[in-house]
Amino acid sequence: MTSAPQKTQAIDIDFREMSGAWQAPAPDALPELPLLQVQNLGFGYPVPAPWPWQTATQRTVLHDVSFTLQMGRSIGIVGASGAGKSTLARLLMGLLSPSRGGVRLLGRPPLHTLHATALRQARCHMQMVFQDPYSSLNPRQRIAQIVTEPLRGLGQPISRPEQRAQAAQVLAQVGLPASALDQYPHQFSGGQRQRIAIARALITKPLLVVADEPVSALDVSVQAQVLNLLLDVQQQHGLGYVLISHDLAVVQHLCDEVLVLDQGQVVERGTPQALFSNPQHPCTRALLDAVPQMDPGRARRQQTLRQRMAAAVGENPPLP
Ligand SMILES: Nc1ncnc2c1ncn2[C@@H]1O[C@H](COP(=O)(O)OP(=O)(O)O)[C@@H](O)[C@H]1O
Ligand SMILES: [Mg+2]
């Protein structure tokens, strides 16, 4: 993607009053600031000691991951299952504390050093979209309650009618009617549920959206619609995306830069075009081989072969 400079001009943020340790930068300063700085990030899950007299250890699943995301740009994280992508997503959101390095939002102190109130304030600007729209939406709640849930986490009282009006507005942005507000998740298809999940992420007007495998649970025909929606939203609001996927084809159209993660390490990085045309690392090549390729020439060759075989035995050619 090369049209990012225009995206940043479209920033439209309802800047909230911030207090405490996390001071929001002035809106004028925003385009100059790096949205997200990930510096030498390392993380290990604790492994309990088998015996009480032994000390607990750690299983390191992320090693020294660094990247910077500018406002309005998109970065893709790709890797096979178990590479550490979801762990990285949780670290970016400040849901886990790194064992090494840190994550800075808008140049402020690392998220894991903030106290709870400041972290909550920082989180106004970042939201997450999860993989499975079936399990990420509470089946017992109406869409109005689901979509407005992040507003209640902001710690600012917003009246019910105002919350509902904001919910209707974000639903319209993702192409759903306001009548959806009174319905339940089971009344929607997978693609519509993921639209609802995206609406929930947009309601706080975040600057950053971390989407962990946002289309993996959807039919291929619906995947493109949801990816196009993410692209439209970005062009409208100048959001930054961290788009996580095991599928290089998913990040190809949306991301300015792609990082290939293998066993917790960044093994290759570059533009999607460079990775597709000239992959260097075996892991990138393996991911590329997994992308289904359209090869009409191959189908034609197979057909000709069948016809020649049929002609050789004097029969009608079988249907392709
Ligand atoms: N809560 C957890 N406790 C211990 N190990 C975990 C936990 N979550 C993930 N892991 C391990 O961390 C590694 C990376 O997992 P994950 O970040 O989910 O990878 P990905 O999203 O790329 O599939 C895997 O080996 C996984 O088994
Ligand atoms: Mg995952």
The predicted-structure confidence for 201-232, as pLDDT tens digits, reads as follows 999 999 999 999 999 888 888 888 889 999 99
Q: Which 8-state DSSP code applies to residue 77?
A: E
H or E segment at 211?
Answer: strand 208-212
Q: Which band of pLDDT confidence, cut at 50, 70 and 90, is reported for residue 292?
A: low
Residue 96 in contact with ligand 1 by CB distance below 6 A: no
**Residue 172: CB atoms within 10 Å:** 13
Highest mean pLDDT among 62-76, 287-301, 302-316: 62-76
The whole-angstrom separation of Cα 68 and Cα 55 is 36
Burial annotation 290-312 (CB, 10 A radius, 16+ → b, else e): eeeeeeeeeeeeeeeeeeeeeee
- Scanning the chain, the segments in alpha helix (DSSP H) are 4-9, 85-92, 116-123, 143-152, 160-173, 190-202, 220-237, 248-252, 272-277, 282-289, 296-313
**Residue 17: CB atoms within 10 Å:** 7
Chain-centroid distance, C-alpha 306 = 45
Residues 6+ apart with CB under 8 A from 43: 60, 61, 62, 84, 87, 91, 96, 98, 99, 100
Report the nearest-CA residue for atom 1 of ligand 1.
Answer: 45
Determine the residue of 41, 43, 45 to mutate for testing ligand 1's pocket, defined as the one with the most ligand atoms within 8 A of the Cβ atom. Answer: 45
The model carries a pTM of 0.83
Residue 86 in contact with ligand 1 by CB distance below 6 A: yes
List the strands of the sheet with 265-270, edge to edge.
126-129, 208-212, 240-245, 74-78, 257-262, 265-270
Length of the chain: 320
> pLDDT at position 7, please?
41
Residue 252 in contact with ligand 1 by CB distance below 6 A: no
Q: Is residue 252 within 8 Å of 227, Cβ to Cβ?
A: no
The whole-angstrom separation of Cα 303 and Cα 307 is 6
The Cβ-side half-sphere exposure at 101, using a 13 Å CA radius, reads 19
> How wide is the angle at C-alpha 152 spanned by C-alphas 207 and 31, nearest 5°?
15
Give mean pLDDT, residues 69-95. Answer: 95
> pLDDT at position 225, please?
87
- Give the distance (Å) from ligand 1 centre to CA of residue 97: 15
Give mean pLDDT, residues 161-165. Answer: 94
Coil, helix or strand at residue 33 = coil
> pLDDT at position 266, please?
97
Atom of ligand 1 nearest to the CA of 212: 21
Report the nearest-CA residue for atom 10 of ligand 1.
Answer: 45
The Cβ-side half-sphere exposure at 268, using a 13 Å CA radius, reads 20
Q: Is 159 exposed, middle or buried (0-12, 13-18, 19+ CB in 10 A)?
A: exposed
List the strands of the sheet with 34-47, edge to edge.
57-70, 34-47, 100-105
Give mean pLDDT, residues 118-136. Answer: 88
Coil, helix or strand at residue 89 = helix
Give mean pLDDT, residues 84-113. Answer: 94
The whole-angstrom separation of Cα 74 and Cα 243 is 7
